[in-house]
Structure 1
Amino acid sequence: MKAVAIILAAGKARRMSHPKALIEHEGGKSFLQSLASTFGKAGCGVLGVVGSDEEAVREQHPSLELVTSRDWEKSLLASVKAGLEAAMAEDADVVLVHPVDMPALRVTTVKSMLKDMERGGTDAVMVLRPEYDNATGWPVVLSKSAARKLIEAEGEDLEAALKTLNPRRLNVKDPGVIVNINTPEIYGRVFSTEVKLAPPPKRRVKRAGAANGSGADTTPASYAASSEE
C-alpha cells in the first residue's frame, strides 16, 4: 500500500507574522521539516503544498517535494485538491492530509491510522479521522477512491466536502492530532519562548575542481551570511 502525506502550507499566516512552514518546532527543524520527518518515519511519501511565501518555503526546504496551489487564496479545499492531484499522479493508494501548523503529530498515530485503513481496503470510498478527548483532529486519511471524489467536490468548504464522504473516527492517545499552533500566544505556551524561525539550510561549499568544474558555492545568497561557520 503506497501512502502519500500532503502537508498543507499554502496559507498566509497573518496572526503568526511568519510563514508557518518556516517556524521552528524542535531540534532546529521547521514545522514543515518536522512533519515531513514524522510522515517519512511512518513509511509515507511526502508532498508539501505551498502558495503564499512559496519562494521562501522552497528556499528553506530544497530537498522536499513541493506542489504549488494556484488558488490558495480561494479556499483550503483548493490547496487540498492541488495536493491530492499530485498524490494521484504518484499512484498513491492512500493519502493523508495534514496542516503544517500541527507539528506535534506522533509517528505511532500515523502508523495506526494506516493500519486501520489497510484493513478496510483502498478501493472503497473510505475516510478516517483521529479523535482525541472527544475532539476530531488531523490528519485526514483518504483511500484512493475517496481522494478522487474529494478532487471532484464542488464548493469551497473542506469540512462540508469531507462530511459527504462519511468519515470514520479512530480514537488515539495523541493530543498532537488536535494541537493547532496558529498564534504567537499558543506557540509561547507550548515552547515557552517567542515565535522564532528555524535556522536556514547549512551552507554547502563545493571544492575547487568538483565534478562541475566551477567550485562554486550553490547556497542561495540570502542564506550565505547566516550559514557561515
Structure 2
Amino acid sequence: MKNVGLIILAAGKASRMGKPKQLLTYQGSSLISHAVKIAINSTCKPVVVVLGAYKKEIKPQIDKFPVQIVENPYWETGMSSSIRAGIVAIKESNPKLDAVIIALADQPLISETVFNRLIQSYQETGNIIIASTYDDIVGVPALFSNILFSELINIEGDKGAKALMGKYKDEVLTIEVAEAAIDIDTQDDYDKLFIGS
C-alpha cells in the first residue's frame, strides 16, 4: 500500500468573490471545514491545509480536525508558494511519503471517492502524475509522485502545478472527474451550487 498525503490549498484572497470563500456555507459547514472532512475520510494520511490571506478567520474552523495547518506568508506571490509550503511541511513530518494529492478548498463536489480513485490509479499504474480531467481541462485534484517533490517546491508564480503536467504530459494519467468542474470563484458560482440541490 502506498503512503499518500493530501495538501488542501486555502491561502488565496478570493479577490473575485470579494470575501473569504473558504468560509462560505455548504451542507451546514464552511467550505474549508467540508473540504477537510472529505480529506480526512479518504485514505490519504496526513492531511495538510495551507492558509494565507484569511488565516485568522479560517484557522478556528479547522483547529479541531486532525490536520497539519501550515501558514504561507508569501501567499500573494501565487499558488506555487502555497504548494511549496505544503510540500516542504509534509516532507518534513512524513519523509517516507510515496506521493501527495494537491486539492483545492473551493471544489465542494469532490468526495473522498475521488481521492481514493487517484490513489488506486497510482498504485495500479505507477504514473508519476494522476490528474483529474473535466470539460477538456486537466487539473486538480491531482496526485504527484515523490520524485516530483523537489520540482513542486521550485515552481513559481500563479500557475500552480500545471507547468509540471505540461512538462511530463507523456507520463500524466487522467481520470474523468466531472465534479471538479465546479469551483467557487465568484458569487455567481456559489449561487449555482444550490440550483437543483
TM class by smaller structure: 0.7 to 0.9
Q: CA deviation at 1:86?
A: 1.2
Check conservation: 2:118, 2:142, Cα contact below 8 A.
Answer: no
Deviations 1:157-205 (A, max 9, x none): 3322442233513232x4211211111111111114xxxxxxxxxxxxx
Corresponding position of 2:36: 36
**Gapped regions of structure 1 (runs ≥ 5):** 193-229
Alignment of 1:145-156 (within 5 A): 145-153=147-155, 155-156=156-157
Deviations 1:115-165 (A, max 9, x none): 1112234xx7x1111113433232121011112222133x42332244223
- Deviation beyond 6 Å, 4+ runs, structure 1: none
Q: Does 1:85 align with 2:88?
A: yes
Q: Which structure shows the bigger proportion of residues in helix conformation?
A: 2
Q: Which structure shows the bigger proportion of residues in strand conformation?
A: 2
What's the C-alpha RMSD, in Å, of the aligned pairs?
2.0
TM-score computed with the length of structure 2 as normaliser: 0.86
Q: Identity of paired residues, percent? A: 24
2:172 corresponds, among 151, 157, 168, to 168
Partner Cα separation in structure 1 for residue 139 and residue 26 of structure 2: 19
TM-score computed with the length of structure 1 as normaliser: 0.74
Corresponding position of 1:112: 117
Aligned pair count reads: 187
Alignment of 1:61-80 (within 5 A): 61-63=62-64, 64-80=67-83
- Higher alpha-carbon Rg: 1
Corresponding position of 1:20: 21
Local SS of the residue matching 1:73? helix
Q: Does 1:53 align with 2:54?
A: yes
1:178 corresponds, among 178, 181, 192, to 181
Check conservation: 2:135, 2:181, Cα contact below 8 A.
Answer: no
Check conservation: 2:165, 2:172, Cα contact below 8 A.
Answer: no
2:108 corresponds, among 88, 100, 103, to 103
Check conservation: 2:23, 2:31, Cα contact below 8 A.
Answer: yes
Alignment of 1:139-218 (within 5 A): 139-153=141-155, 155-156=156-157, 157-158=159-160, 159-166=162-169, 168-172=172-176, 174-192=177-195
Q: Which has the higher contact order (CA 8 A, sep 6+)?
A: 2
Q: In terms of mean alpha carbon deviation, does 32-41 or 50-59 score higher?
A: 32-41
